Chain A
Amino acid sequence: MSDVVKIATRESYGNTLKELGAEYPNLVVLDADLAGATKTATFGKAYPERFFDCGIAEGNMIGVAAGLATMGFIPFASSFAMFATGRAFEQIRNSVGYPKLNVKIAASHAGITVGEDGASHQCNEDIALMRTIPGMVVLNPSDDIEAKAAVRAAIEHKGPVYIRLGRSAVPVINDRPDYKFELGKGILLKEGTDVTIVATGVVVDSAIKAAKMLEEDGISAEVINIHTIKPLDKELIAKSAKKTGKVVTVEEHSIIGGLGSAVTEALAECCPTVVKRLGMQDVYGESGPAAELLVKYKLDGKGVYEDIKAFLK
């Protein structure tokens, strides 16, 4: 597997911002002293006059972004997911969401794949927080290709957008000619008849691996990649749920409030289906290498496979 290309979605973000800088003269980027880590520094080096480091003050950064948006700029504000969406939640709600300002919040280091920094920095609540804000679009790309597309879709969309990005390098899984990113549309990665796996973000890879293992056991799994958690592609999920009758959600996020909740809520209203939510089971993460954490919290391919097997028994 040494030929598998791996790249962190935060890298994809920084590279795409730099590209967009040439196309959008009104694109400005803000960071809160984490430009090297969130990769906004890639933009900052290319366009220093349009890059504003706000220092370690996330609430103010979001407000400054809001003010810039009222002046016709398209601000991308970045920090770690914990601080961008946790610390500055109310600023995003009241100074960006409520006035419907064209601010993009792109946060890196989401989920447990932050790794060694541990629980204080592993945000498993950001999707839940951002999803409750009226009008907020919530994107969670699964690899380099999807992250690039998501950043482009965000700038093309008028209004607030949250983009979730990861720290760790992840395999490129969407490298195929027919790949198309459409905001609000899920992607059917594999057809199946026995169970539907709905996955999001960097653990879509785990879902694909789990589906392959299930196949070997004679279980036909349908796999859906949900890169847009809000607005959710309810139609695609409901269609699949009606076909298979069993749904599993997979996310590197708390099972409370994230993809699992969104899918469960949608299905409960249209076609009640048994749903197994895989993700962080209402617990904090901990320090350790990202890959080992995924194994411990059963979010790697094998862990997802095992939990689905147990669910189907």
Chain B
Amino acid sequence: MTNLELQKMANEVRKGIIESTNSAKCGHPGGSLSAADIFTYLYFEELNVDPKNPDKEDRDRFVLSKGHTAPGLYAALAHRGFFPVEDLLTLRKLGSYLQGHPSMGVPGVDMATGSLGQGISAAVGMALGAKYKKLPSRVYTLLGDGECEEGQVWEASMFAGHRNLDNLCVIVDYNGLQIDGKLEDVCSAEPFADKFRAFRFHVIEIDGHDFDDIRRAFKEARETKGQPTAIIAKTVKGKGVSFMENNASWHGKATNPEEFKIAMEELRKAGEALCQM
């Protein structure tokens, strides 16, 4: 996909995030929007996955360690063809397979997540298993920057670095905000890059909304041998919806009817603008 095509798709993913959380009247739009470009790149460019055969053994794996941003993952999976886009509106509703946090049984979901710090360990196990089986599979896991306050993130990183798991790519969605406010005010895990380097990772720092940057980083990760890669992606929480941007209060709440209209109108206009490029 060209960058323009990716931008258009990311805009559709953002609409899916707003529509699904609005339908659920709850959920986590802020961190879903900040990672929307990463979700889009992963599912439309990077990951070797097949919606028609979601369980094929040699596929790449993706674990959403920051599981609360399931709306972003679900929107990307739906648009990639893993399940109908209209199902996004069942998010968090009783009986829906689209649980508040990713669970087994969602086509394309490789691991149930939601309790922060745990997804990365499962991803490390997958990478270890893929190595043992000599599969070409790569394993990707997306972490929140706040999530890096969990000790398990560093237990898993230590293990991955120690075992030279170069088929593992950790992405940190560095939007700078967590539920209680700015990372720097709550309990900052900075410096992220130095920490991952200390755990024997190859580290790449990028603008998480720039598809040139994202493309370059994933290519570099694939070419990195003998050590895992951490991509620190600087992002804007709530990216794409003006009143949500850089606002921690949009971590875990949905739009009211008026806000929903404004948000969708903004995304519609953004989509139109992309079509005229």
Contact = CB atoms under 8 A, between A and B. Distances in A.
Contacts of A62: 121
Contacts of A57: 152, 155, 158-159
Q: Is the interface of A mostly helix, strand, loop or mixed?
A: helix
A91 interface: yes
A67 B121 CA distance: 7
Contacts of A85: none
B122 A98 contact: no
Interface in A63-97: 63-73, 75, 90-91, 94-95
B122 A66 contact: yes
Contact of B118 (A49, A63, A71): A63
B115 A71 contact: no
B110 interface: yes
A68 B123 CA distance: 9
A55 B159 contact: yes
Interface stretch (B9-17, B28-36, B128-136): B128-136
Nearest to A91: B118
B129 A68 contact: yes
A212 B56 CA distance: 59
Q: How many of chain B's residues touch chain A, expressed as a range?
A: 20 to 34
B122 A64 contact: yes
Interface in B73-128: 103-104, 110-112, 114-115, 117-128
Contact of B159 (A28, A54, A69): A54
Contacts of A72: 57, 129, 133
A36 interface: no
B169 interface: no
Contacts of B236: none
A48 interface: no
Contact of B103 (A63, A67, A99): A99
Contacts of A64: 121-122, 124-125, 128, 156, 159
B126 A60 contact: no
A60 B125 CA distance: 9
Contacts of A55: 158-159, 162
Contacts of A95: 111-112, 115, 118, 121-122
B112 A98 contact: yes
Contact of B126 (A52, A70, A91): A70
B110 A70 contact: yes
A99 B112 contact: yes
Nearest to A54: B159
Contacts of A60: 121, 124, 152, 155-156, 158-159
Contacts of A94: 112, 114-115, 118
A95 B104 CA distance: 11
A298 interface: no
Contacts of A71: 125-126, 129-130, 133
Contacts of A69: 125
Interface in A1-50: 28, 49-50
A67 B118 contact: no
B128 A68 contact: yes
A52 B61 CA distance: 21
A285 interface: no
Interface of A: 28, 49-50, 52, 54-55, 57, 59-60, 62-73, 75, 90-91, 94-95, 98-100
The 7 A-B pairs at the shortest CB distance, nearest first, are namely A67-B125, A63-B121, A71-B129, A60-B155, A57-B155, A64-B125, A67-B122
